[in-house]
Structure 1
Amino acid sequence: MLSNNSKILLRIITTVYNSGIRKYVTPPKRFYRKTGVVTSNGKYEITLDQRKLKTPNGSPFYVESEPLAIAIATEWDAQKEVVDRSSMHLTALSSTVIDNPNNLQKTDIINYLVNYLNTDTVLFHSGEEESLKKLQTSEWDPVVNWFNERYQVQLTATDGLEIPSFPPGTAMNISRYLTSYNEAALHGFMFAVDTIKSIILTCACVDRFITPEKAVLLARLEEEYQQGYWGRVEWAHDVQQLDSQARLAAAVLMIHLNSSNVFIKHKNI
C-alpha cells in the first residue's frame, strides 16, 4: 500500500498532469463561409461573411496595402474545418501592428534590429570543430560579404565567445536603411530576425539575394551539421524547418507588401 506521503505526491502529479492537458485549447471550428476585402478611405478591411475582422484587443482590423489585405483574406479562406490562428502569420503580424501590445515606437524597433548584430548567428563561427568552421566559412561568408557591400559596412566573424566589434558608422548605415521602412514593415523585420536569429540573413532575403528556404538552412547550419553526425529525427526536424520557412516567408511578404511601391495610388480627375 502507498504511504500517505506517496498518495499526496501522486495526487499532486495527477493534478499537474491534468492541468497540463487542459492547457491545450481546441481550435474553433470555421464559423464563416467566405472571406472578402472592403476598402474605405485608403484602408482595407477583411470580412468573414458580413462581419469585419477585429484584432485580439477588439480594434478594427485594417491594413493600408491592398495586396496585403488579399493575402490575409487568403489566410482565412485557407482554413478548413477549424481555424488555426498559429498558421496565419500575416494576420498575427498585422494585428500586432495595430494593437502594439509592447508600445513600440519606430526607433525602438530599429534599435532592436541594429543591436541584434552583436549576436547575429552568421558572425559566430565554431572555435572547436574545424570541419564545422570550414562549412560555416564557405556558406556564411558570401552572405556577410554581400551584406558589407550592400550596406557599406565592414562586419567580420569571430570564432570565440566575445562580441564582435564593428567600425564606427556601422549602426548609422544600417539604421538609415531601416528608417526608410514604415512601422508595419519593421514589425516584419523583427519577426524575421526573431525567427532565424540573424539581421544579416533577413536583409539578404528582403533584397532577394537568397530565398527564405536558403536563409533557414543557413540559420540552422550548425544544427544540420550535428544532425548529420548524430542522426536526424525527420518528422520533428522537418516540422521545425518548415515552420521557420513559413514564418520567414510571411515576414518577408509583410515587408514587401508594406513598402511604398505596392500601394495603389489613384489620381484625382
Structure 2
Amino acid sequence: MADSMTEESDYYPGKDDLDWGYQEVGKEPKEGVEWGLLFPDANGEYQSPINLNSREARYDPSLLDVGLTPNYVVCRDCEVINDGHTARIILRSKSVVTGGPLPRDHEYELHEVRFHWGKENQRGSEHTVNFKAFPMELHLIHWNTTLFNSVEEALAKKNGVLIIALFVQIGKEHLGLKAITEVLQDLQYKGKTKIIPCFNPNTLLPDPLLRDYWIYEGSLTTPPCSENVTWILYRYPLTISQLQIEEFRRLRSHLKGAELPEGNDGMLGDNFRPTQPLSDRTVRAAFQ
C-alpha cells in the first residue's frame, strides 16, 4: 500500500500550520472554529456529519443484492497516534472491503481508524439518529486502490473514499479495543505515538448477520472537509466499558508543557463536528 499519509500530514500535506479546533459545547463559536474560512470545502452543500432520520431514509432492497464484504486481516505493528484532535490507528495491513453498494470489482483499503467522543456520555458521536447522539463514534477510513495510488489522490474524487462508521454505546468491555485503550495512557499528549504489536480491525465490525446500514454521500468531518465521501453507517452500535471511554477522555489536545489559553483545560474530547444540512441528498437504508 502507498504509505503516504504520515503522522503529521493528517489529510492535507503542507497545511499543518493551519490551526483548527472544535467549538466548546454550550459556548458561542470562538475565533478559529469557522473552518470554512480556512477550508473552502467546509462550505459545501454535501457536508458530513448529518442527522439520520429513520422515517425519511429510503429503503433500498437492492443494497442487499450483493453483501458488503469486509476482508480485514490482523495488523502487525500498528501505530496509534494522539494528533491533538483525535486518537488514530494507522494500519499497515492489506485490509479491504468490497461489494454492497460499492462500485463493482472495486477494492477499498482500510487506511486508518479515528475516534470521536464526548466529555460526557450523552454526546460525542458526529452523526445522530433521530437527533439522538451516542457517547462515541468510530470511523474506518478506506480509499479506492482500484482507481488511485494514494489516499491523497483519492480525496475529493468520485468513488475515492469510503468511511464505515459505527456508533459506540457504554456497557461491557470491548475486548478488541483493549489493545488500544491499554496504551492510551502513553499517548496523553499531542504528538505522542505508540506502536502496538497486534490489532484486529474485524473486532470493530458488528456480527456479519447484522447487515443493517444507512448509506449516503457526504464529506470528511475534519478539515479539509473534502466531499465525494461515501458513508456507510451501521445501525447496531458497538459496546465499550465506561472505563474504556474514560481512557480516551484523559487524552490532551496540546503538547506536553504547552501553555494553555485561559479557560482551556487542554483535555481532548467533544471532538465532534455539529450535524450539517442534508440539502437535497437521500439517505438509503438496507433495512425496513
| Same fold, TM-score > 0.5, yes or no | no
TM-score range, shorter chain: under 0.3
More strand, by proportion: 2
More helix, by proportion: 1
TM-score when scaled to structure 1?
0.25
Q: Which has the higher contact order (CA 8 A, sep 6+)?
A: 2
TM-score when scaled to structure 2?
0.24
Structure of higher CA gyration radius = 1
